[in-house]
Amino acid sequence: MGSASEMTGQTADRTQQAARSVQESTGQAADTARQAAGKVADTARQTAGQAGEAARQAPGQAVRQTQGNPLAAGLIAFGAGLLTASLLPTSQAEEQAAERAGQAVEPVKQAALESAQQLKEDATQAGRQAAQEVKDTASEATRATKEEAGEQAGHVTEQARRSAQTAAEEARGQTGSPGP
């Protein structure tokens, strides 16, 4: 079992690691969502540009190509219908991209919640261990102080007894010695 400072350090390290992991995952999910949205937007712009250009050129081409050829007129009409139909799924593609982005963020969200829960448990455990260590240290200090105080009281008592004995002997020696 490590000291409170070691547990606090370990908890801080885990906290930093979890935060970095959440940041990295969130950044990756955001990048993926941005890339997907960018691709969808680029595709939509290109398709719209192509459709607009084709729409502008269609009447002239239709007239040139269909003169005397009803089959060509039918193919051109079919192509124009396909082009128009290809524009409609763009919104569906955007919805799918948004759904994918949401799905990519969900694991990050779950990982963040799990990390937060683990950090809470680690911090609680570290706090309990630190409190127990402080309590044990205080109890040990109290016991050691009592023992030291008892020893010092014994020394003081012994010194006082010796001093009293010496004083008594000196007093007897002065009373028992002949005067000048």
What is the distance between the alpha carbons of residues 98 and 107, in angstroms, rounded to a whole number? 15
Q: Which of the pair, 10 or 166, is modelled with greater confidence?
A: 166
pLDDT of residue 85: 66
pLDDT range class, residue 66, cuts 50, 70, 90: low
Burial track 117-140 (b if 16+ CB lie within 10 A, e otherwise)? eebeebbeebeebeeebeeeeeee
pLDDT of residue 33: 66
pLDDT of residue 178: 55
Token pair 């016991």 in the structure block, residue: 143
pLDDT tops 70 at residue 4: no
pLDDT range class, residue 138, cuts 50, 70, 90: confident
8 A C-beta contact, residue 119 and residue 15: yes
8 A C-beta contact, residue 40 and residue 97: yes
